[in-house]
Structure 1
Amino acid sequence: MELRIFYDGNCPLCSAEMRQLKARDPKNLIALEDLNAPDFSERFSHIDRDYANTILHGETATGEVLLGLDVTCKAWALTGTRAWIQLLRLPVIKTVADWCYLRFAKHRYRISYLLTGKARCDDNCQIPTKRR
């Protein structure tokens, strides 16, 4: 595991992106952890679940915590796909992209409803994860 992503499994858009990431991760470099898992706080006491629900959190194999689009860019880089996403880390673009991301994260349920007709997930958009 190179990157563990702590995502909101109740968000249809978040879950869809995690499914896309895992579909492009044949080497299993990315581990996914749903913030809403009943034992989340016990297993990841170093991650503030409330804060992680406001901004995407990731943790590298070395224990470095990444936030927001840094997680997204690292994850897609690990899959070797969607190279254009790395443009979001360029100095000129980074500030605007991060601002936009924070607005998206804050309103993700409303945006999800507008795009998918579903504000929150039911059981059919949960992502099965392998525990090691």
Structure 2
Amino acid sequence: MDAEKNITATTTVYYNSACPVCDAGIRDQRQRMQTCQINWVDVHTQPEAINEINIELEVVRERLHVRNANGEILLGEQALAAIWTQTKGRRWLAWLTLRLSFFTRPMYNFVARQLYRWNRRRGHW
């Protein structure tokens, strides 16, 4: 999966607004990308939307997913990098995230897993 591929109007970001941390991050990102034509899908309010990507709801609740213009599904740090690639002032972060994936992938997965567990304990579903 190549997170640096073209991200256009056919790009869809699947996120979980029930997670307060994730929701805050997505709200900030959406504001930064107001001029981009991105489809933002909140799986908390639109759980049926995951049928488009054929992935279990709990998996999408745990990690950010992006379907890019080529139909590829990117998740976790690659999904973030795909979004940051098109965000003015954050392209460097996308580049760094992809180049250091040996570190960023396990770090993202660890943090995502802990947030997921925390949200479940707090009843954020």
Which residue of the partner structure matches residue 96 of structure 1?
A: 103
> How far off its partner does 1:61 sit?
2.4
Deviations 1:29-71 (Å, cap 9, x if unpaired)? 322111212x422x33123212212322111122111111111
5+ residue gaps, structure 2, are 1-8
Which residue of the partner structure matches residue 64 of structure 1?
A: 72
Which residue of the partner structure matches residue 75 of structure 1?
A: 83
Which deviates the most, 66-75 or 56-65?
56-65
- Root-mean-square deviation (CA, aligned residues, Å) is 2.4
Q: Which is greater in Rg?
A: 1
> How far off its partner does 1:83 sit?
2.5
Question: Is residue 2:113 matched to residue 1:106?
Answer: yes
Of structures 1 and 2, the one with the larger relative CO (CA 8 A, separation 6+) is 1
Which deviates the most, 23-32 or 8-17?
23-32
TM-score, length-scaled by structure 2:
0.75
Aligned length: 112
Query: Structure 1: how far apart are the matches of 2:107 and 2:65?
Result: 17
TM-score, length-scaled by structure 1:
0.72
Query: Structure 1: how far apart are the matches of 2:123 and 2:40?
Result: 18
Which residue of the partner structure matches residue 44 of structure 1?
A: 50
Percentage identity across paired residues of the two chains: 24
Secondary structure of 2:70's counterpart equals coil
